[in-house]
């Protein structure tokens, strides 16, 4: 294969990988938030006096789950730059 075709193939696979990374990260975050909130509602229904303590923990964990997805999104976006560098290298 020619260098330019290899670079195009790498860029295509990188795009597919980034899409999978972002999509599966979003799916995992949504499923995690859904499970956690359902457990919070179950716990609040069983022991209503524990709602303030449980609510603080739920909001803290919601932030952590969303932060992990945002970190994955940032790493996916930053992984796109090496292919640009390799395209510049192949053009030389």
| Enzyme catalytic residues | 66
Contact 90, 10 (CB under 8 A): no
Residue 90 corresponds to which tokens in the numbers above?
């192949």
Cα–Cα distance, 29 to 58 (Å, whole number):
14
Nearest Cα to 80, choosing from 19, 38, 39? 19
């Amino acid at each position: 294969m020619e260098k330019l075709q290899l670079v195009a193939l790498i860029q295509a696979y990188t795009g597919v990988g980034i899409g999978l990374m972002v999509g599966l990260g979003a799916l995992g975050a949504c499923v995690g938030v859904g499970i956690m909130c359902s457990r919070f509602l179950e716990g609040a229904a069983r022991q209503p006096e524990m709602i303030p303590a449980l609510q603080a923990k739920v909001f803290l964990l919601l932030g952590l789950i969303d932060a992990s997805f945002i970190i994955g999104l940032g790493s996916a976006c930053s992984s796109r730059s090496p292919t640009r560098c390799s395209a510049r290298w192949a053009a030389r």
